[in-house]
């Protein structure tokens, strides 16, 4: 699969971070396919940078298991972790549950209103049968709760694990049924619990929401095997 012709301009990022963020995005969405070779020289030319920040970005991606760097051979995109769905989604459910619990302790009325808006956008994307928009709206909802929780460690670890989850979801996007009224209902229950400062219920509802996603993805894998 050829590299895209252009890269977004992000002047606020240094060269390594710009390359890292874009390559990770391409891997998550499938623009860079599993097992695809990555040429640091081609990446450097595309971004208009030296090979040093490209190698630094690739090393970081390797530690996060998005690429594998084979000494004196090649750098490749890793396979999608379809055999580790439980390994990914169970800790993600726990992290996101903790974020919901923390959000319940500090949320404002304006933030509750914004969560309702984000969930409405999620529901609309389902009704319009736009799979990619559904994933983006779902991510926006959960990312906003992480923002409200305001815990940098929970946010960092959750974002890393969620990136692998998003990669699996994009891989099976054509097979997923995006009409998920249960997910919309669960989001509403999460909002209600957080707005009521019910940290226990917020954690439980959020955990349930992610575990349901885990079972849906596992069903896709089972059907494909």
Same-domain pairing of 105 and 210: yes
Task: Give the residues across from 76 on adjacent strands.
Answer: 37, 68
Same-domain pairing of 181 and 196: yes
Same-domain pairing of 97 and 207: yes
Same-domain pairing of 54 and 40: yes
- Mean pLDDT in the chain? 93
Same-domain pairing of 209 and 108: yes
Sequence-ordered strand ranges (E) for 122-163: none
pLDDT digits (tens, 9 = 90+) for 115-154: 999 999 999 999 999 999 999 999 999 999 999 999 999 9
Same-domain pairing of 163 and 216: yes
Same-domain pairing of 64 and 149: no
Domain of residue 62 covers 15-77
| Residue after which a domain boundary falls, among 49, 77, 105 | 77
pLDDT digits (tens, 9 = 90+) for 92-116: 999 999 999 999 999 999 999 999 9
CATH code at position 93: 1.20.120.530
CATH code at position 64: 1.10.10.10
CA atoms within 13 A on the CB side of 110: 1
Same-domain pairing of 218 and 135: yes
Show Cβ contacts of residue 67 under 8 Å, excluding neighbours closer than 6 positions. Answer: 23, 27, 38, 58, 61, 75, 76, 77, 78
pLDDT digits (tens, 9 = 90+) for 169-191: 999 988 888 889 999 999 999 99
pTM: 0.91
In a domain, 5, yes or no: no
The predicted structure's pLDDT at residue 8: 65
Same-domain pairing of 160 and 132: yes
Same-domain pairing of 102 and 146: yes
In a domain, 3, yes or no: no
Count how many domains the chain has.
2
């Amino acid at each position: 699969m050829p590299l895209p012709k252009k890269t977004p301009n992000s002047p606020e990022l240094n060269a390594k971070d710009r390359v890292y963020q874009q390559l990770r995005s391409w891997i998550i969405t499938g623009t860079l396919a599993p097992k695809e070779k990555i040429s640091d020289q081609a990446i450097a030319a595309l971004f208009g940078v030296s090979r040093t920040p490209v190698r630094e970005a690739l090393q970081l991606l390797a530690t996060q298991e998005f690429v594998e760097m084979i000494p004196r051979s090649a750098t490749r995109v890793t396979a999608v972790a379809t055999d580790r769905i439980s390994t990914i989604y169970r800790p993600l459910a726990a992290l996101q549950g903790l974020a919901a619990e923390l959000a319940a302790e500090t949320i404002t009325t304006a933030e509750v209103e914004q969560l309702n808006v984000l969930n409405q956008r999620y529901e609309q994307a389902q009704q319009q049968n736009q799979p990619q928009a559904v994933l983006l709206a779902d991510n926006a909802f959960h990312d906003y709760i992480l923002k409200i929780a305001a815990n940098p460690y929970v946010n960092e670890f959750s974002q890393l694990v969620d990136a692998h989850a998003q990669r699996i979801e994009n891989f099976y996007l054509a097979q997923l049924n995006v009409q998920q009224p249960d997910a919309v209902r669960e989001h509403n229950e999460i909002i209600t619990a957080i707005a009521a400062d019910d940290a226990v219920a917020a954690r439980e509802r959020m955990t349930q929401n992610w575990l349901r996603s885990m079972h849906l993805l596992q069903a896709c894998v089972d059907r494909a095997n």
